[in-house]
Structure 1
Amino acid sequence: MPLGPVFRHEMLAAGRKRRYFAVRVLIGLGMLALLAVGYQTVYQQLRYQQGALTGDYGATVTLSISGVAQLTATFYTLFAWATMIGVLAVTPAVAAGAIASERERRTIEYLFATDLSNSEIVLDKLAARLLTVGKLVLATLPVLAIFRLLGGVPGSLLLTHFAMLASTATLTAAIALTVGVWCERARDAVPRALAAVFLWLIALPLGFIALWQLGLYGVPWAEWLQDRVVMPLVTAMSAVHPVMMLATSAGISGGVLGVDVDRGAIALMVGFQLLAAAALLGLTVAVVRRVHLNAASSPGVRQKAAAGAPDSRSPYERRPMLWKEMFAASVKKQTSKWAMRIGVTLLVIVVGTPLVTLLVGGLARYRSIDFEDYMQLATGMVGTCGSILVLLMGSRAAGLITYEHERDTWLSLLTTPLPAGEIVTAKTLGNLYAFRWPLIGVVLMPLLGTLLDISAVLATLGVAATLGCLSWTATAIGLAVSLRMKSSIKAIGVTVFVLLSIGAFYSGLAGTFAGLSGASEESLSLLIFPPLAPFLLIVPVIAVFDSTPDYIMASYFVGLILYGAVGFFVTLGNTARFDQLCGRSVGYWRPVPGTTTPQRGPLAKPSPDASL
């Protein structure tokens, strides 16, 4: 029966985790920060309006009844977007490891040996993870209740929004559970689930871009493809896209809060999302036992090394840790290989189709006139895909050390005579190597523009340098967190929060409060923009086809220097931390010259009789 022993066990385990209490406190503080941002925004708008009438822009403003209503509408706007984005970001991280963690701990066989059916296992885990997400959403209600003193938010509007959140969380959790079934480790399931949700969200705007481009051709094949293929897909995706529905039917643009809510469209979206979630859960229930048993009974397939024969020992002899991180962990199942190939193929189709379509259209119709249009599209692609990629690289790096603990190989790593710097460097380069194809894909986006104008080479070099700097820093931060934790899930969560705090959270709060100081635009850009990864990624592309102010370029170079310094010092800290965990006083173990016995400390100088 549903909500049985698995549900009770999941809820007991979640109730004993202190991190959920910390997350609820952070959510409450975040809601208070949104309240402060909303108040300052409305206050500045009213002061500007009064200054436009009286000429005194520095006068104190008292909130009237209309001002209080405007404050309520502004806060609800921020609340609606913050909760929706939070659900889309948190739910995959919470739900992705539900099945993968059981496989990783080798406890899933005990579940299969009981009388529990597949549906009971999957639905119990889904209900427990959704309830965990729901408790995090409910942590926002105390701050929302403050507005009962200011006239409040209509109850029907709140119910409509929470219905959207519930259906979106259900579909997102179903996507994460389905992805996690084919993952053998929780640390792999989380970034893959986040990537699947990201592809779901970005598919709709890419579909609109494809419609726009096909409409420019005016040829029969383009019209047929637009009417018979792309348009039905865009319509279907629009029916279940939460961000689009929130933007068009959130009831936040009317004069009276909640009067323009399209409840019919929201109800349709909720229904379609629940149907899609039911289909995915049906697939998960059908394959959860079969996938694990097939993976446990079928032998692994040894992959070949990247360059050279698989029996080549030269990389191992020169850099053993680097060889291990890049090539040694290469036993993959056939299902994993095919799943990876399908995922890469879908990513190439979703991301590359609009770019290639615009590129071919520009070459066929206008030769090099469409260079600016292509680079504008590439700017959005590079900023979005590059930022998500950096976040995924940091989350993977967060599990590189904790995974050694979970596999019980940590002690074996500590007893090797390898220097700490070599181990940390190998972990860093191995993480970059694991994302080599996505990194190349992001760099190729502006590089394709060279077919239209050779100046795109400069944008490509700038994107490559920026992406390399951000990737190194994200990997270093992930390793720093991983060295201080024993659980991969905890390390991934903390790393993602730290990376988001460096960019989005800091810049949003700094921009709001710095704007009140009346500082110049140049000063504000130097304060707000440097930590933003999307800003740093798009500046090299924009600078090629558009005039860029000097203060924007200054903010770009300040950001590169900032991230480079953070990556350098965090890497040094990781080396020192590794030495501390090993109990090494200086930095490495080296054999004493003339012997084969490792000695802790620096490389000993040979004594006068060492050669005797």
Structure 2
Amino acid sequence: MPRIVNWLLRLVITNPICMRLVTGGSRRTRHLYIRSGYLAVMIIALLISLLGVGQGSLQKLASAGATAFQQVAYLQLGMICLLAPVFMAGAIAQEANPRTWDILLTTPLNALQVVLGNLFGRLFFIMALLVSSLPLFAITQYFGGVPGRSIFMSYLIGAIAALVVGSIAIALSVSRQAGRRAVFVFYICVVVYLGLTWSIDRILRPGAPNQVTMMTPLNPFLTLEVLLNYANYHPPSAVEQLSLGWFKRMWFGAPAATFCWLGTVISVLLIAWSALFLRVIGERTGQIAWYRRLFRAGSASAKARPARRVWNNPIAWREASAKQNTLGKQVAKWGFVGLGVLIAMTLIGLIHTQTISLGTARSMILSVIAIEVGIIGLTALNISATAISQEREDGTLDLLLTTPLTPSYYVSGKMRGIVSFLLPMIAVPTVTLAMMAAYIGVDGLGVASGVMMTVTANTSTVEVPMVLPEGVIILPLVLTSYSAFAVMVGLHWSLKSKGTISSIIGAVGIVVAVTGVISLCGSTGGKTLGPIRAVLATISPITAVRAIVFPEAAIPDSLSESVAGSRITLVVASCIAAAVYGFVVYGMHKQMLGPNGRNFDMTVRRLSGTN
């Protein structure tokens, strides 16, 4: 074999690191469960999307097939964006032991082989997920209305998005400035970036209705929308593009191609940077960061502090106060609170000065609160999924089990402490809705545009506030109970997982799958299932926010009958949803402990010493 061909093969296909990751990961039961769960969610989503398809003309079948494909394509892209950091978490976590890179550099592998092996060895599983769902998308071809080009372009967009996420993860790992907690930060950055670019696009759209914006090639969901919703979101016409320069013509005229090329270039640059600086950065390992020197972290003066008042449950106090009292966590939490309040005040200012219309304001409110809900959910999962496994790794759990604390007391304290820590964050979207409700209550202080909107629910025209004031009651009920559910899922995986990374991956996968399915049920079934439509519309925080901001889309039947009655129904439905979450949390707590805490004790003993 020619030497150049052998060299190229050893970069990816026969790369020892890539082969080790693929061979080892393919045999893991966890990866089998992830693939099976991914396909199960996709199949269920497609079936739910096709429930309303009955006998009709070929045109109706084609329209139903196109709608089902759009919903499943968006779901697949969302799951890829969320699962890509999961599979790349191993690369980020390698920094927890920086000598891993040093050992690899002593092998005959060059820096480029090390970087590409880690990248493509983990990307293989993401690409396998994409390929595994291809037969499912092929089924939509029986209905018609779905061009084959759209299917393959949606796959290409998902693959490029995964490549960019993977390249960033490898760069973080190579820099040795990340760590196990960086997995959570990585998730937050992905969610915030997608939500921020989507929100900016919604702000810019009124300036050019139905046309792409400068944000379109920067967001995979917006790029996919151009392919799937061309009639309502499309590039400028060919005549309009003639007056544009070559860069604008490429950026606005071909957003899908621009996204793919831009993602490829960014990935190549990150890979090149990682390969060039892999050895150089290793020489600086062990130096103290400037911000730690600034705050004297770890110094003798930081060891002494005043006595603290402990709650009745010391486990809950430790989880809510002591363990979360680090500088970074406090800055992140209160920074989130301050930024959320500032954004809410800014939105009210924009509405009052009539800088934005009420329709645009509703879209922005939905985007902001949805991003905040996503951050709260990921924070709950990150803290709870490491609450027990981290104590097992550092030996703290063995010490706690020698005390009179019972398993029930321990798990209940963990859940109470984590939820208490999350309460200030949960208050942020609630305060946002409260400020909007107060602004509506004073009739916008006499603003000319008013605070009421005329919307169409089914065939009726009704007048509703720009945001339902009842959201101040609905959202905290649903979001708090949902956070408790996410915390219990995280604690469950933290108990039975050997390490923190595996517990985070398992918890995030379960919660994302459950939330995706119930959100899909709430968004589609909320229109057609009669009396339980309001409960389905509030069963998930995302669909609850949608019902608060866009009730005509969430509960059109109820709204067309009675506006006041539908608002009361949503409040009652949120109480029912909170009660359902409460029963689920109680059942998970009992199952986690077993009779007299036997399951908890057996799991702890089985995994003791395995880290």
Structure 1-normalised TM-score?
Answer: 0.70
Q: What is the deviation of 1:133?
A: 0.3
Are residues 1:557 and 2:594 paired? no
Match of residue 325, structure 1, among 312, 319, 323: 319
Q: Judging changes above 3 Å, is the alpha-carbon distance between structure 1 residues 182 and 358 closer, same or farther for their aligned structure 2 residues?
A: farther
Aligned to 2:256: 266
Q: What is the deviation of 1:247?
A: 0.9
Match of residue 588, structure 2, among 570, 583, 588: 570
User: What SS does the corresponding residue of 1:296 show, helix, strand or coil?
Assistant: coil
Match of residue 348, structure 2, among 344, 359, 370: 359
Q: Judging changes above 3 Å, is the alpha-carbon distance between structure 1 residues 502 and 81 closer, same or farther for their aligned structure 2 residues?
A: closer
For residues 149-197 of structure 1, the C-alpha deviation after alignment (integer angstroms, 9 at most, x for no partner) is 67796544433332222212112223444455567544x2333222111
Aligned to 1:250: 228
AA aligned to 2:345 is V
Q: Judging changes above 3 Å, is the alpha-carbon distance between structure 1 residues 33 and 311 closer, same or farther for their aligned structure 2 residues?
A: closer
Aligned to 1:311: 305
Aligned to 1:412: 399
Match of residue 24, structure 2, among 13, 32, 35: 13
Q: What is the deviation of 1:479?
A: 1.0
Aligned to 1:296: 286
Q: Distance in 2 between matches of 1:533 and 1:105?
A: 39
Aligned to 1:431: 418
User: What SS does the corresponding residue of 1:483 show, helix, strand or coil?
Assistant: helix
Match of residue 238, structure 1, among 202, 216, 219: 216
AA aligned to 1:123 is L
For the 8 Å contact 2:170–2:274, the answer to whether it is kept is yes
Aligned to 2:266: 276
* 1:440-459 to 2 correspondences below 5 Å: 440-449=427-436, 452=439
Aligned to 2:445: none
Q: Judging changes above 3 Å, is the alpha-carbon distance between structure 1 residues 142 and 205 closer, same or farther for their aligned structure 2 residues?
A: closer
Are residues 1:529 and 2:537 paired? yes
Count the aligned residue pairs.
Answer: 526
For residues 252-304 of structure 1, the C-alpha deviation after alignment (integer angstroms, 9 at most, x for no partner) is 769xxxxx9x9943212211122233344455556666777656343866769
AA aligned to 1:498 is I
Percent of counterpart pairs with the same letter?
19
For the 8 Å contact 1:394–1:496, the answer to whether it is kept is yes
Q: Judging changes above 3 Å, is the alpha-carbon distance between structure 1 residues 313 and 293 closer, same or farther for their aligned structure 2 residues?
A: farther
User: What SS does the corresponding residue of 1:40 show, helix, strand or coil?
Assistant: coil
Q: Distance in 2 between matches of 1:567 and 1:152?
A: 43
AA aligned to 2:260 is V
- Bigger CA drift: 86-95 or 395-404? 395-404
For residues 112-164 of structure 1, the C-alpha deviation after alignment (integer angstroms, 9 at most, x for no partner) is 44454554333221111211100111111233444666779654443333222
Aligned to 2:187: 194
For the 8 Å contact 1:303–1:330, the answer to whether it is kept is no
Q: Distance in 2 between matches of 1:6 and 1:279?
A: 21
AA aligned to 2:384 is A
Q: Distance in 2 between matches of 1:278 and 1:345?
A: 34
Q: What is the deviation of 1:324?
A: 4.4
Q: Judging changes above 3 Å, is the alpha-carbon distance between structure 1 residues 111 and 235 closer, same or farther for their aligned structure 2 residues?
A: farther
Match of residue 486, structure 1, among 494, 498, 505: 498
For the 8 Å contact 2:98–2:176, the answer to whether it is kept is no
For residues 37-85 of structure 1, the C-alpha deviation after alignment (integer angstroms, 9 at most, x for no partner) is 4543332xxxxxxxxxxxxxxxxx3x66545544543443344223222
Aligned to 1:477: 489
Q: Judging changes above 3 Å, is the alpha-carbon distance between structure 1 residues 330 and 290 closer, same or farther for their aligned structure 2 residues?
A: farther
Q: What is the deviation of 1:525?
A: 2.8
Q: What is the deviation of 1:377?
A: 4.5
For residues 362-383 of structure 1, the C-alpha deviation after alignment (integer angstroms, 9 at most, x for no partner) is 55679xx999986775454224
- Bigger CA drift: 384-393 or 553-562? 384-393
Aligned to 2:11: 2
Q: Distance in 1 between matches of 2:350 and 2:435?
A: 13
For the 8 Å contact 2:65–2:146, the answer to whether it is kept is yes
Q: Judging changes above 3 Å, is the alpha-carbon distance between structure 1 residues 459 and 371 closer, same or farther for their aligned structure 2 residues?
A: farther
Q: Distance in 2 between matches of 1:428 and 1:278?
A: 43
User: What SS does the corresponding residue of 1:400 show, helix, strand or coil?
Assistant: coil
AA aligned to 2:162 is A
For residues 521-541 of structure 1, the C-alpha deviation after alignment (integer angstroms, 9 at most, x for no partner) is x23333x23421224456678
Q: Distance in 1 between matches of 2:280 and 2:469?
A: 49
Are residues 1:499 and 2:511 paired? yes
Q: Judging changes above 3 Å, is the alpha-carbon distance between structure 1 residues 237 and 317 closer, same or farther for their aligned structure 2 residues?
A: closer
Q: Distance in 1 between matches of 2:431 and 2:525?
A: 38
For the 8 Å contact 1:316–1:323, the answer to whether it is kept is yes
For the 8 Å contact 1:446–1:541, the answer to whether it is kept is no
Unaligned runs of 5+ in 2: 1-9, 233-237, 239-251, 443-467, 552-562, 603-611
AA aligned to 1:356 is M
Q: Distance in 1 between matches of 2:285 and 2:333?
A: 19
Q: Judging changes above 3 Å, is the alpha-carbon distance between structure 1 residues 118 and 310 closer, same or farther for their aligned structure 2 residues?
A: farther
Q: Distance in 1 between matches of 2:476 and 2:49?
A: 38
- Higher alpha-carbon Rg: 1
Aligned to 1:386: 373
Q: Judging changes above 3 Å, is the alpha-carbon distance between structure 1 residues 182 and 346 closer, same or farther for their aligned structure 2 residues?
A: farther
AA aligned to 2:344 is L
Q: Distance in 1 between matches of 2:44 and 2:18?
A: 35
Q: Distance in 2 between matches of 1:284 and 1:549?
A: 54
For the 8 Å contact 1:382–1:537, the answer to whether it is kept is yes
Q: Distance in 2 between matches of 1:123 and 1:352?
A: 43
Aligned to 1:610: none
For the 8 Å contact 1:175–1:197, the answer to whether it is kept is no
* 1:340-355 to 2 correspondences below 5 Å: 355=344
For the 8 Å contact 1:97–1:189, the answer to whether it is kept is no
For the 8 Å contact 1:467–1:537, the answer to whether it is kept is no
- Bigger CA drift: 144-153 or 472-481? 144-153
For the 8 Å contact 2:46–2:68, the answer to whether it is kept is yes
For the 8 Å contact 1:240–1:269, the answer to whether it is kept is yes
Unaligned runs of 5+ in 1: 44-60, 216-233, 255-259, 585-612
Aligned to 1:143: 136
For residues 416-448 of structure 1, the C-alpha deviation after alignment (integer angstroms, 9 at most, x for no partner) is 333334422442244346546644543442354
Q: Distance in 1 between matches of 2:153 and 2:501?
A: 32
For the 8 Å contact 2:203–2:360, the answer to whether it is kept is no
Q: Distance in 2 between matches of 1:374 and 1:266?
A: 28
Q: Distance in 1 between matches of 2:162 and 2:72?
A: 16
Aligned to 2:463: none
For the 8 Å contact 1:7–1:128, the answer to whether it is kept is yes
Q: Distance in 2 between matches of 1:274 and 1:433?
A: 43
Q: What is the deviation of 1:91?
A: 0.8
User: What SS does the corresponding residue of 1:531 show, helix, strand or coil?
Assistant: coil
